[in-house]
Amino acid sequence: MIFGEAKHLVWLNRFLKKGFSHVSIVVHYPHYSVFINPRLAYNEVQCFAGDVKIEPAEGETVLRGDAMVDIYKIRRLLGPLNCVETVKAFIGERSFWCFTPYQLYKRIK
């Protein structure tokens, strides 16, 4: 997971903790990588062929994990459809009182 500043909804940077106003996911496989950028209206998904390693930009925080989630046990989205709820669904996190990227970072770390 990559935690960083919101680039599309920059007003969020005023209200949320510095460096923790957006979260995205990178999944590395042996011959390709998938970058998932949750947005309010849709999920932006990019696939990269080869052994590409997506590195964070300056000011971004990376949290690495090897969690595998059973696809049939993915939690249902109960909160607002934002980046945190989408990432929680991908990693199988079920905490109800986790709304901001920084809360998710502290919860997982």
Q: Report the percent of the chain where pLDDT is more than 70.
A: 83
- What whole-number distance in Å separates Cα of residue 33 and Cα of residue 52? 7
Q: What is the pLDDT of residues 78-99, one digit of tens each?
A: 567 788 888 888 887 878 788 8
Cα distances from 75 to residues 17, 34, 37, 72, 87, in angstroms, run 26, 21, 19, 9, 11
Tokens 């949750």: give the residue: 38
Non-local CB neighbours of 8 within 8 Å, separated by 6+ positions: 39
- What whole-number distance in Å separates Cα of residue 43 and Cα of residue 50? 23
The 10 Å CB-count burial string (b at 16+, else e) for 53-76 is eeeeeeebbeeeeeeeeeeeeebe
Which tops the pLDDT comparison, 9 or 18?
18
- What whole-number distance in Å separates Cα of residue 100 and Cα of residue 16? 8
Position 82 scores a pLDDT of 83
Query: Band of the pLDDT at 58, cuts 50, 70, 90?
Result: confident
Estimate to the nearest angstrom the gap between the alpha carbon of 102 and the chain centroid. 11
